Structure 1
């Protein structure tokens, strides 16, 4: 057995063991820790969606909570006002989030860098303020009394039910993002991220692929919003503010841009670290911020950064004039 195959099998074994532990966790955990881990799975889904935009395509999005809000309000309105079953609201929320991604992405993606960030920030605030002022969205009070969902004949009521629902959704989202990362589209995103002009010279349409990244990220955010609405049974505009977008972006950067395992790690850390520091009361966010500053100073590429491919020996030899030195 080669060292590479041994590492691959060890990694697969560790992954299988981790998944088994997560599925058995509700048997030994209290409701408090079930709630904490359920929130962590929720942020894993959101961070994986934002990673498509920021990590794969290299676009700075400061208004990602807007798509999360669109999904949540779509489910909230359809279930409380029109009494639509939860599962039927899911495709509606995904479609509306995708449409919103196109509406904001089509004009904004012709911009770059800070200008794009400002536009996405404005979009996020527009969605929040609109939700705060519309009667249909419950104005500042939001929507309450959202019914618990029934999935394939099983009514989700307990904390354990939502734990397993979000765990399964996080796994499915991760596998989908991994498949997308290694696809032709994923490679095009990475080329655009590294050098947009060079990618265009190679025949890649930067606008088309950046818009696709925006839509994919919007759909994932919208789907996460549907689960958030039925889990909390009440939503309000304050849940979708700028700081929510920053927190999701922080998970992506903390773990490692474009690195899926790192994004998952970052999402867990932004949920678990404040909880672990709860005994310090008002100091915990100060300590959390200090840890983040230290991490960004000593490891700015993230805790689990994407590795770089090593150039084959033949390639190094060619660059050195064929002598291999």
Structure 2
């Protein structure tokens, strides 16, 4: 009952914050940041299900995001696909790729798993960069506006409403997955694959499924990003973007859905705040991350939750 209360409380707080933001400001810059935070948060939630709950490292998730983004861009621009169909086609392609590579990759552990996922991400980034005829190569390409069943998604307020609703739905779905038998199986796998297998859990199957789900979320958010920004470059699928996504999960808190949201907000806002340091942004950014890992090793949300819980006794 306490867990259910906490989950619903978190969702209510998230919904209130998302509803209040447009009322507090109509500034296009702040709405733009809020939209990007929501998109990053959804990707981070999917990645946290894989890393934080299932214990499987992925350093190439931006590759899946890039496939989704460029699928929407290329299929709408060169082949006349409706944006929604292009988005779903990209997600289906990512699901198939993730399914095909998941079993051999997820048999690996530790550094070997990290290197394998890193290699996959790098391959995707290279393909996107080299296929200049369709993707524009390093120069990037323009992306048409998003239309969904005749509805033109234009303007910051419309985009904000769309991604805010998606964030609430994905957060709710992720929390329910965690509390379901499938989610408990993932946590058992994280604890000990041998014990999970002895308990009758299909370890390989569970890892493949969550890998595919996480990749699909990244693909869909990549497509939305492409249509929202209106221009793509290969950096969207690059290694540094994968590290950024991973950092959102680690800083916010692994095995914490709301930690993913907090981490996405911090990592999206920090570059704006640190721009005042003129050339020292990377140094200050690194120092903040180091301090977080030293003093809040479990991540912000789990550490603060534990400290408040202790303070309440």
- Asked whether the two chains share a fold, i.e. TM above 0.5, the reply is yes
Structure 1: any 5+ residue segments left out of the alignment? 309-325
Q: Which of 135, 138, 142 is equivalent to 1:137?
A: 135
CA contact (8 A) 2:61 2:121 kept: yes
- Structure 2 CA distance for partners of 1:16 and 1:242, relative to 1, 3 Å: same
Q: Which of 179, 182, 188 is equivalent to 2:179?
A: 182
TM-score in terms of structure 1 length: 0.87
Q: Does 2:240 match 1:252?
A: no
Measure the CA separation in 1 of the matches of 2:13 and 2:253. 23
Report the structure number with the largest CA radius of gyration: 1
Q: 1:155 is paired with a residue of what secondary structure?
A: strand
CA contact (8 A) 2:129 2:138 kept: yes
In the TM superposition, what are the counterparts of 1:294-313 in structure 2 within 5 Å? 294-305=291-302
Report the aligned-residue RMSD.
2.2
In the TM superposition, what are the counterparts of 1:107-126 in structure 2 within 5 Å? 107-126=104-123
TM-score in terms of structure 2 length: 0.90
Q: Which of 41, 52, 58 is equivalent to 2:38?
A: 41
Measure the CA separation in 1 of the matches of 2:59 and 2:10. 34
CA contact (8 A) 2:196 2:203 kept: yes
Spell out, residue by residue over 1:121-153, the C-alpha distance to the aligned partner (whole angstroms, 9 max, x if none): 000000000111113333333332x21112343
* 1:100 CA drift (Å): 1.2
* 1:17 CA drift (Å): 5.2
Spell out, residue by residue over 1:85-118, the C-alpha distance to the aligned partner (whole angstroms, 9 max, x if none): 1122232122111111112212111111110110
Spell out, residue by residue over 1:185-210, the C-alpha distance to the aligned partner (whole angstroms, 9 max, x if none): 11111100000111111111211111
Structure 2: any 5+ residue segments left out of the alignment? 307-313
Q: Give aligned pairs, total.
A: 303
CA contact (8 A) 2:65 2:236 kept: no
* 1:8 CA drift (Å): 3.6
In the TM superposition, what are the counterparts of 1:184-199 in structure 2 within 5 Å? 184-199=181-196
* 1:274 CA drift (Å): 2.5
CA contact (8 A) 2:145 2:152 kept: yes
Q: Does 2:149 match 1:149?
A: no
- Structure 2 CA distance for partners of 1:109 and 1:14, relative to 1, 3 Å: closer
Measure the CA separation in 2 of the matches of 1:14 and 1:54. 21
CA contact (8 A) 2:15 2:168 kept: no
Spell out, residue by residue over 1:272-303, the C-alpha distance to the aligned partner (whole angstroms, 9 max, x if none): 22222332232233222212111111111111
Spell out, residue by residue over 1:255-281, the C-alpha distance to the aligned partner (whole angstroms, 9 max, x if none): 111111111111111112222233223
Counterpart position of 1:222: 219
Counterpart position of 1:20: 16
**Structure 1 segments of 4+ aligned residues over 6 angstroms from their partners:** none
